[in-house]
Chains A and B, each alone.
Chain A
């Protein structure tokens, strides 16, 4: 009996909190995206309208930007996974008693402020930045390179840097789960090291690789802070346009429709991810 009473005590606070500050805001956004304009109070009934979606579908540049953002996220996550795989491999099989220390050493940059690490790249890549002044100092170049900062490449570089430590974790988890006796069996049967890797290690670590890919890809498509800091106007992503419609342009219904597209895209990706891999394996 008191178990039931406890249930209600545990149930209501989180339900009300998440309902009020997570579910309802998202539903509000859905409602807003079906408004024709921003006139009138929210509580007055309005005629649902597909105007925003029609405008969005008709405007090619938004779709292109969504495509570019997805492509950037793809490049970032694939590169991060490829760069991280050898690290995970090293930690899994060669770390030995020092593996824990090596792992912490890798994760420390990830645990420091995200904004600061992005800032650091701004200081590195700027016209008066570290890389330029170093190259001028060593007489490699005479004029500062302006092409380093404020473009898509700067965003891609910075985000790969930001994600690498994090990407290593699911790959490491997958590698550590491989039964070591498989290697012995393969060696006994005469498999050469490279074949052992290609036929055993790599296939068995693929769930971790896919998990790592999605764990980077999904948040990166929705990224707006890094482009804001190091991307400039030439490095904008889809998220920056949403931001603009809620701040500068103050067209909330259209911004809501754009957010809906992003939200649906994200949910589809998550659905895809959960079909490919068992996410539970990677939730430590």
Chain B
């Protein structure tokens, strides 16, 4: 069936590239258990010291908590709003549909720097102080397209006749939504929520402009880059977070494939 009979060159290319892709991640991990504050060969010794120290760094832990709060809030809002837009897109015909769907999808395309400065303008014109709330608002906007795509494709995959049947049997539309549609798209909503969470959790481009005096973890990490001696602790926390995010993404993928 396939064009080239011998798959060996392709297979070695694949694994070679995979090795290259994992190399920087391995370097980060090594950095977090390396006893020196910079990574040089030969390695001087390994330590879990940085992992212990990070739990004593208040500012660092506060920034991690900030990220968590923003990610939780914005992902819930994005899931709710994105699901609403998907339902409208797949189940209703109305005049401003094009505009609404365009506004919901475009944040995926508009460069983050443009969106960041536009929101900065908005908040400064309204004299709203920059805070976790303003970061959360921005993250809700950029996570919404992901929710829309995930939930809408689930809605497209299931038979609209089931809804009609429910309504023929006397259920009104809100009941049909609550009892039939929402349970059917629930796996997609969970997956969308987890995706939105990870989109927000390590987002930096918007947060740098909008966080003000309450840095999220990426913004705090960026601010600390000047201090080489702090770097291993930052990377140690980053490695822990990376493992956390990765777990969430893998769960999201699992849930999304639930039929």
**Chain A residues proximal to chain B, CB less than 8 Å:** 2-3, 5-7, 10-11, 13-15, 17-19, 21-26, 28-29, 32, 42-43, 83, 86-87, 89-91, 93-94, 102, 104-106, 108-109, 111-117, 119-121, 123-124, 128-130, 133-134, 136-137, 161, 164-165, 180, 183-184, 193, 196-197, 201, 218-219, 221-225, 229, 239, 242-243, 246, 252, 255-256, 259, 262-263, 266-267, 270, 283-284
Q: Contact at A18–B111, with CB atoms within 8 Å?
A: no
A267 to B114, CA, bound (A): 12
Q: Which residues of A contact B213 (CB under 8 A)?
A: none
Q: Contact at B41–A134, with CB atoms within 8 Å?
A: yes
A-B contact list, 17 entries, CB within 8 Å: A6-B173, A6-B174, A11-B84, A13-B81, A21-B140, A24-B122, A32-B121, A86-B14, A93-B3, A111-B250, A113-B238, A124-B27, A137-B41, A193-B5, A219-B111, A224-B205, A252-B117
A27 to B139, CA, bound (A): 19
A42 to B40, CA, bound (A): 53
B166 lies within 8 A of chain A by Cβ: no
Closest residue of A by beta carbon distance from B28:
A120
Q: Contact at A29–B121, with CB atoms within 8 Å?
A: yes
B149 lies within 8 A of chain A by Cβ: yes
Q: Contact at B235–A266, with CB atoms within 8 Å?
A: no
Q: Which residues of A contact B172 (CB under 8 A)?
A: 2
Q: Contact at B125–A28, with CB atoms within 8 Å?
A: yes
Q: Contact at B104–A93, with CB atoms within 8 Å?
A: no
Q: Which residues of B contact A7 (CB under 8 A)?
A: 88, 92, 94
Q: With A7-B92, A93-B2, A266-B110 given, is the CB distance from A137 to B122 under 8 Å?
A: no
B22 lies within 8 A of chain A by Cβ: yes
Q: Contact at A117–B94, with CB atoms within 8 Å?
A: no
Distance (whole angstroms) from the CB of B81 to the closest CB of chain A = 4
Chain A to chain B: the 3 pairs with minimum beta-carbon distance, closest first? A222-B111, A120-B24, A133-B40
Distance (whole angstroms) from the CB of A82 to the closest CB of chain B = 12
Q: With A2-B172, A10-B87, A119-B28 given, is the CB distance from A21 to B122 under 8 Å?
A: yes
Q: Contact at B27–A18, with CB atoms within 8 Å?
A: no
Q: Contact at A29–B100, with CB atoms within 8 Å?
A: no
Distance (whole angstroms) from the CB of A198 to the closest CB of chain B = 10
Chain B residues with a Cβ closer than 8 Å to the other chain, count? 86
Q: Which residues of A contact B84 (CB under 8 A)?
A: 10-11, 13-14
B221 lies within 8 A of chain A by Cβ: yes
Distance (whole angstroms) from the CB of B198 to the closest CB of chain A = 7
Distance (whole angstroms) from the CB of B179 to the closest CB of chain A = 14
Q: Which residues of A contact B87 (CB under 8 A)?
A: 10
Q: Contact at A119–B39, with CB atoms within 8 Å?
A: no
Interface residue ranges of B165-186 to A (CB < 8 Å):
172-174, 177
Q: With A6-B174, A109-B21, A256-B117 given, is the CB distance from A22 to B106 under 8 Å?
A: yes
Which residue of A2, A120, A137, A246 is within 8 Å of B209 (Cβ)? Answer: A246
B204-220 to A contact mask, C-beta < 8 Å, 1/0? 11001100000000100
Interface residue ranges of B94-136 to A (CB < 8 Å):
94, 96, 100, 103-104, 106-107, 109-115, 117-122, 125
Task: Describe B's contact surface by its main secondary structure.
Answer: helix
A89 to B17, CA, bound (A): 14
Q: Contact at B103–A115, with CB atoms within 8 Å?
A: no
Q: With A29-B118, A87-B14, A106-B21 given, is the CB distance from A116 to B3 under 8 Å?
A: no
A22 to B111, CA, bound (A): 12
B180-198 to A contact mask, C-beta < 8 Å, 1/0? 0000000000000000001
Q: Which residues of B contact A201 (CB under 8 A)?
A: 3
B162 lies within 8 A of chain A by Cβ: no
Q: Contact at A112–B245, with CB atoms within 8 Å?
A: yes
A261 to B178, CA, bound (A): 45
Q: Contact at A164–B17, with CB atoms within 8 Å?
A: yes
**Which of A2, A106, A113, A266 counts the most B-chain CB atoms under 10 A from its CB?**
A113
Which residue of B40, B41, B114, B141 is within 8 Å of A21 (Cβ)? Answer: B141
Q: Contact at B17–A222, with CB atoms within 8 Å?
A: no
